[in-house]
Amino acid sequence: MRIKWQLGCNSGGTADDSVPLWGGIFLWKAADPVPACWDLFRKGDADLYIATNIPLLPSTMELMAAEQVDVGQIDIDLPWSEVSHTADGLLLSGDGELPEMLYAARGKLAAIGLLNRDQRLLDVPQATAAGILVLEPLRGESASQADFILMKLLEAARESDYEPVELAGKRLGILGVGPAAKEVARRAQAFGLQVVFSAEESSRVQAELYQAEILPTIDLLVSVDILVNLQTRAAGEGRFGKDEIQLLRENAILIHIGDPQVLRMNELVRALDWGYLKRFIIDLPPGYEAMQEVLAHYIGDAASVGAAGNTLEARRSIEREMARDLIHALRGQAVDSTINVPHLRLAERRLHAPWLRLATLLGQMLGARLGHRPKQVDLTAGREAPRLNEMAIWSAFLEGLAHGLGDDRVNRISARIWAQEAGIKLVWQAESARIDGLSATAGSLRGILEVGGSLRHNALQLTRLDQFRFTAEPTEHLLLVPHANRPGMVGQVGTLLGARQVNIGGMVLGQKEEARDIALMWIMLDKPPKADLLEKITALSGMRQPEYIHLPQTLLTPLTDQMLV
């Protein structure tokens, strides 16, 4: 494999002037004296290595240097299994197709940032199944998109087939949230347009910021002269089609710069063919040229590909956005530009962080207790649980379940696909009065197993194990001993552990809600017990089969402020 390094400063090197660096990769050799910035890009002290298939702009390289990240440029035809095991992240552009070996290698590659939205480059489902985070531009091209929308709107207002109109006083509705929506609203204000946001997507605070109305989506559709659709795939596929088009006013202008997947495209084409939709403008991402040709049959050059974000400023902003977000994601921070994990806003992240940790913990415990993949898992959110993002909680829980079953390759990105391929049926129940926090149940050869927990000041507490109720802190080494509920049982176990030099860090007793004949010892140990110790406990009078569970320290460390965002 050969990597040519772009140093972001004038090194004076040539393509043939290269020296081996590490693992068969070549570092660009400077013909002139080594420049001051050289060490910032040398593979060595930096904690991250990001590979890219294009020369990055100097401003992007400066950002990488400031973050102490190694950067290398690669050819698209290189052996990608080596790339997967060498690079922490990829920053990619173009219309080539990445080989399947990139996903199958399951090396250290953790995230891929796309510099355009060309879906031909990357197989997102395969990347997701491999546990690779995928990022797309969110903010970088928003200003360019807004300029494009206003340009097209000005052209449409003077279109020769219709009576010319002035924009001032017209109503412009916006579907979708995010930076592009804000940029469009800001420009619309300058032209005297009355902006209307969807109540299902925008807050009243945002509407007031742009002196805009906020209406239910149906009311918005029937009342605006111009509709700008900026919805992304996060809004859901097939959100906009014939029903929505028929609500629009006659001769209303529809401009779509959002994700094509939110459109019911067959219905949209029929609306154009039958004359329901007369004034339509759309800009598609690269890779949708065939769709553009179909639409151009009806609307001519009002259908374009990649025109909305094609400025140099947009490219510069996109590169910096993707580089920054890729670095943050690789360092474990949440970013908004991810497309293959459940999206949580900043306020939601703080709310969800401890609940996601709890879900992973419960999954780990249930997997360790099961020892096999269950046919069905029921996950219940109780009284104390706020309105949680179901998909985010499932992703966290299933990651823990897979790890508890011994499959450490699964992460929150690939967890739901892992469960689907394993044939695990997922059943969600929200706002149950039966429990306080979260509870997970699954069938086993021993019957129905349950683990449950809650939060106290963002600290994890375990509260349910099968039919037993208690309040205990999770710890690395847990010994669970069900026993007959009679005097002397705790003493027997304590004496046996003491004779084996096993220290008890703490103990909690659990009781059943109804029948009191069986109780549970929840014993926190300093080290794992030997296998014969469990056999000795079972042999004691009145004891049932004990269980040992090991929980990773990563689930037990207190949540910091950085983890909460």
* Confidence band for 78, pLDDT divided at 50, 70 and 90: low
Q: Where are the domains of the chain?
A: 40-136+310-338, 141-305, 346-466, 470-564
Beta strands in 199-306 (DSSP E): 213-215, 226-229, 253-256, 279-284, 303-305
pLDDT tens-digit map of 318-352:
899 999 999 999 998 888 888 888 878 777 888 88
Enter the tokens of residue 272.
Answer: 């154009």
Q: What is the pLDDT of residue 314?
A: 86
Q: Name the more confident of 334 and 421.
A: 421
Joined together, the tokens standing for residue 404 give 């508890």
Place of tokens 């002139």: 32
Q: What was the pLDDT predicted at 398? A: 97
Largest CA distance in the chain: 95
Name the residue among 123, 114, 134, 138 with its Cα closest to residue 54.
Answer: 114
Say whether pLDDT at 239 is over 80. yes
* pLDDT (average), residues 375-387: 88
Q: What separation in angstroms does the CA of 234 have from each of 50, 197, 337, 338, 407?
A: 27, 17, 11, 10, 29
Options 3.30.1330.90, 3.10.110.10, 1.20.1580.10, 3.40.50.10300; CATH for 346-466 is: 3.30.1330.90
470-564 shares the fold of 40-136+310-338: no
What would the DSSP string read from start to end of 478-507?
Answer: EEEEEEESSTTHHHHHHHHHHHTT--EEEE
Q: Using one digit for the tens of pLDDT, what is the confidence trace for 251-304?
A: 899 999 988 989 999 999 999 999 888 899 999 988 788 999 999 999 999 999
User: Which range has highest mean pLDDT (43-47, 79-83, 122-126, 365-369)?
Assistant: 365-369
Residue 392 CA to residue 416 CA, distance in Å, equals 10
CATH code for the part of the protein at 141-305:
3.40.50.720
Q: If you classify domain 40-136+310-338 with CATH, what class do you get?
A: alpha beta
Provide the percentage of residues in the chain whose pLDDT is more than 90.
42
Of the candidates 329, 323, 325, the one whose C-alpha atom is nearest the C-alpha of residue 6 is 323
Of the listed ranges 91-100, 349-358, 492-501, the one predicted with least confidence: 91-100
Q: How many angstroms separate the Cα of 275 from the Cα of each of 267, 270, 279?
A: 12, 8, 10
Kindly state the average pLDDT of the residues 83-110. Answer: 80
Q: Which residues contact 470 (CB under 8 A, 6 or more apart)?
A: 462, 463, 508, 509, 510, 511, 520, 522
Pair 333, 344: CB distance under 8 Å = no
Burial of 492 (0-12, 13-18, 19+ CB in 10 A): middle
Distance from C-alpha of 102 to C-alpha of 504, rounded to nearest angstrom: 47
* Burial environment of residue 165 by CB neighbours within 10 A (0 to 12, 13 to 18, 19 or more): middle
The b/e string for 175-187 (b: 16+ C-beta within 10 A; e otherwise) is: bbbbbbbbbbbeb
Pick the CATH number of 470-564 from 3.40.50.300, 1.10.10.10, 3.30.110.40, 3.30.70.260: 3.30.70.260
What is the SS3 string spanning 56-83?
CCHHHHHHHHHCCEEEEECCCCCCHHHH
Predicted confidence (pLDDT) at residue 7 exceeds the cutoff of 70: no
Helices 289-299, 265-274: inter-axial angle, 10-degree rounding: 20
Tokens of 66: 């400031």
Average per-residue pLDDT for the chain: 83
